[in-house]
Each structure stands twice: as structure tokens, then as C-alpha cells.
Amino acid sequence: MKIFKTILILILTVFLIAVGYIFSLTFRPEGRLDWGQALFLKLVGDNDDQTALLKTMTLEQRRHFTDAVRINTAGLDIDTLRITKDSLTVFIYKPKNLPKNSPVVVYFHGGAFVLPWTNVSVTYATRLAQSFNTIVVGVDYRVAPEHPFPIPNDDCYAALHWTIQNIGKWGGNPNQIILAGESAGATLATTVAIRAMKEGMTNIKYQVLDCPVAFIPLQTDSYQKFKSGYFLEEAEMLFGIESYLPDEADYTNPLAMPFYADSLSNLPPAFVITCEFDPLRDTGREYAKKLMDANIPTIHKEMKGMLHCIPGPFNERDRTELYNEIAREVNMSKRD
């Protein structure tokens, strides 16, 4: 019995020390990180080495950049199709036994404009399909630096048109389109919405914009505070910007950076997500405000204590709850 008590005390002591250590990691000069984000940040360390590696990789090597991320596509039927002569590829995720005439999410992945479709993209596509209980068309658009602006944007717009013309074959409703994306993908999603609006299209009913980069963030307060030591590092952001927009004249091109659109009127409703400890946070805040000023029904939710796009394995519940909330908002907007 005495040995058992000693072992129990040792286990409790180790546990309390671990909890105390993780708790201490949450304290930052700029505020309190969520514990899961703080632990993840401690485990991954400095991303600058990974960015240096990224710059040396071929496109095909970058496709495997996040292979360590686990994926789970249970309950989904998945089709892969090349839809253009340029080999633009889409992945169609459809929940089993989904009724016909389902809304359709067209999803544009993140990755600083330089990562192609990866395991992280699969996790977002499956989460959207499961949370929204709907068809998701994931777009493997061409990426920089091999394919700078406007090629990624044109690919995304072509994928929208293909979806409208063809998704009925999978039981999707081409007149109930939701555009979604995270980080660079959120930027592409809303530029597609702006382009479609200018061409008089009415198929898009909602935008889900997760941590968008609405304009070049280098002068913002959040960039200056969080550009180092908060997962999304300055070296990665600069590499992404310079690769996507090699011509600085395009930094304020509204087809590349949506904040500079001359009008946001008549865009579909939007759910804009920002994260408190994200260097891109202020661009998302400003874009949400600009949407509201244009009288676009907009929900802006800032995720307290979170890093860019809520990375890592310790906050899966937060991500799932967030996307379930967005799905409820989208469903409510359809009834309005």
C-alpha cells in the first residue's frame, strides 16, 4: 500500500509540474495564448528553417510538405478529376447518402500561395463536407513561384465555372454555391466572389473566409507584433508575397488583394475569421469592416488566444466547433 501511495504521489507531482509548465507557456508579452496553441508552438519551434527548405523544393516535393498530418475521410465518397487542358485538378468530397440538390462548397486551400494541395487541404475539405453535410469541390490550383498571379486566380475562377456547369452530376445545386478558403485560399475565394459579382453571377450565396490576407500586411500592428515567434513567420510570408506577386505594382491590384476592390456591393454574405496572435489578423479585421461598410451581411469572429488558422493537434475540437457554428450561420442565411 505504501509503495502504491508513493507511486501515486509521484504521478500526481509529474502531472502538476507538466500542467504548470504548459500554463507558463501561455503567457506572452502581447497576451495569453490558448494552452494548445502554446504547446504546439513550443513543439514546432522556429519555422525559418522550414521556409528555407521550402524555397529549395520542387512543386512535387512541396505537395508532400505536410504528409505528417493525419487525414480521415471516413463517410465520404471522393472523386478526382482534371477539368482543363492545363491539368487543373479538383477533388469532389460527397457525404454518403446525401440528398440531391445539395448546396456545394467550392474550397480553395491555403499555403502562402506556394503550397499545392496537401494533407492539410484534405483536412479542411473533409471538415467542410462533414460540418456542412454537403458536397465540397476542392481546387488544386496552380501555385507560385512557378505560376504567379494571375494564374492561381484564373484557375480558381475556372473551377467555379466548371462546378456550376457540372456539379449537378453529383447531385449538387449549382445555384447554391458557398466559397470557402483559409489564409491564401480565403484571399482567392473572395477575389473569385468579386469577379463573379462584376460579371453578374448570382450562384454564390456565401463566403467563408478563414484568416484572409486582404492586403499586404507589412505595415500593420499585428504583423509587427507577431511576425516572429508565432508560427507564421516573416520569412514564409515574404516568400509567399514575392512568389505570388513578383510585380510590386500588383500589391494593390484588387484582383490579387481584395481590399482594393472599388466596390464590394452585392457580394454574398460572409463569415470572416481572424486569430488573435496572427500577423495577418489586421488585414482580416479591416476587410470584415469594409464588407460591413458596404452593407454586406458579415459575421466577424476573432479566435482569442489562437495562432494563424489554429494549427496543431491540440485544438481539433475548437476547429470543429468553429466550422459547425459557421455551418449553422450559412443555413440560417438561406432561410432569411
Give the pLDDT of residue 94: 98
Distance CA 200, CA 296 (A): 16
Pick the CATH number of 45-335 from 3.40.190.10, 2.130.10.30, 3.40.50.1820, 1.10.760.10: 3.40.50.1820
- Using pLDDT thresholds of 50, 70 and 90, give the confidence band for residue 82: very high
Top pLDDT among 168 and 19 is at 168
Contacts of 190 (CB under 8 A, 6+ apart): 179, 207, 209, 212, 214, 258, 267, 270, 287
CA distance 139 to 161: 12
Domain boundaries, the chain: 1-32, 45-335
Catalytic residue among 155, 210, 278, 282: 278
CA distance 121 to 110: 7
C-alpha to C-alpha distance for 99 and 78, rounded to whole angstroms: 16
Q: C-alpha grid cell for residue 29?
A: 508579452
User: Catalytic annotation on 183?
Assistant: yes
Q: Does the annotation count 262 as an active-site position?
A: no
Provide the mean pLDDT of the chain.
Answer: 94
Residue 336: which pLDDT band, with cuts at 50, 70 and 90? low
Question: In sequence order, what DSSP letters do the residues of 64-132 get, joined into one string?
Answer: TTTTTS----TTEEEEEEE-STT--EEEEEEETTPPSSEEEEEEE--STTT--S-HHHHHHHHHHHHHH
Phi, psi of 139 (to 5 degrees): -105, 120
Question: Sign of the CA dihedral 227, 120, 331, 81?
Answer: positive
Pairing assessment for the beta strands 204-210 and 270-275 based on DSSP bridges: parallel
Q: Tell me the per-residue pLDDT of 6-24, one tens digit each, with 9 for 90 and over.
A: 777 677 766 677 778 787 9
Choice among 121, 131, 183, 222 that is catalytic: 183
Q: Does the model's pTM come out above 0.85?
A: yes
Report which of 179, 257, 246 is spatially closest to residue 212, judged by C-alpha positions: 257
| Residue range 253-263: mean pLDDT, rounded | 97
Q: Percent of the chain having pLDDT more than 90?
A: 85
| Position 1 pLDDT exceeds 70 | no
